[in-house]
Amino acid sequence: MFQFIVGTNNAKKLIELQLLLPQDKVKALALSEVDGAIEVEETGETFAENAALKATEQAKHLGQWVLAEDSGLTVDALGGQPGVHSARYAGEHGDDQANNDKLLEALKDVPDDRRTAHFNSYLCLSDPEGNVRLEAHSRCSGRIAHSRQGAAGFGYDPLFIIREYHRTFGELDLAVKRAISHRSRALRQFVPAFLRLIEAEG
């Protein structure tokens, strides 16, 4: 059994990751389950840089394998904002309501055809010495609604409309979200390479 740390304290992200990993071959632990985990400052200018920072710094500190993810929303009409600042767009980290309010205000005069947006997910796996061993990324495209719709999910989910379903992530069944989300798409790229790496590591 290959054990590694998932570099997040977001319980919903952790569940989404665990459901796509083969439970018989790997054991994923949350940061909250590990003594001595540190808070890594996200000083990168891109999702990829932040994912690498969170993976390598935590791995070196704990002396364990760490899988980190950085994800966020990019809105075309806002020049890619909120981007790497998605979780703290309104100022306080993780204040979903304030972040959604700020986004709606920023787009209040923007018509539907210019409200295109993308959820981005970047994964990075570091070995215990702090070397990047695997990276993967993907995105899911949609459009920003004019008001919140649905209570499921987290973050910007109630505002992110998936065109094919004409519903937001906040309205979609969790199984559907897991099938099409940016995170699950990135994980589907990551997992086969991850399993080959584990096998090679013996």
Total domains, the chain: 1
Active site residues: 70
Residue-range definition of the domain harbouring residue 156: 2-201
**What CATH number has the domain bearing residue 110?**
3.90.950.10
Residue 143 pLDDT > 80, yes or no?
yes
pTM (predicted TM-score): 0.92
Annotated binding site: 8-13, 41, 70-71, 154-157, 177, 182-183
Closest CA to 59 of 70, 68, 71, 48: 68
User: For residue range 39-90, what is the model confidence (pLDDT) as tens digits?
Assistant: 999 999 999 999 999 999 999 999 999 999 999 999 999 999 999 999 999 9
Is 159 within 8 Å of 144 (Cβ atoms)? yes
User: For residue range 148-200, what is the model confidence (pLDDT) as tens digits?
Assistant: 999 988 899 999 999 999 999 999 988 888 889 998 899 999 999 998 998 88
Is 40 within 8 Å of 58 (Cβ atoms)? yes
Integer Cα distance of 191 and 134 in angstroms: 10
Integer Cα distance of 152 and 193 in angstroms: 31
DSSP for 56-83 reads HHHHHHHTS-EEEEEEEEEEGGGTT-BG
Closest CA to 156 of 165, 145, 63, 10: 145
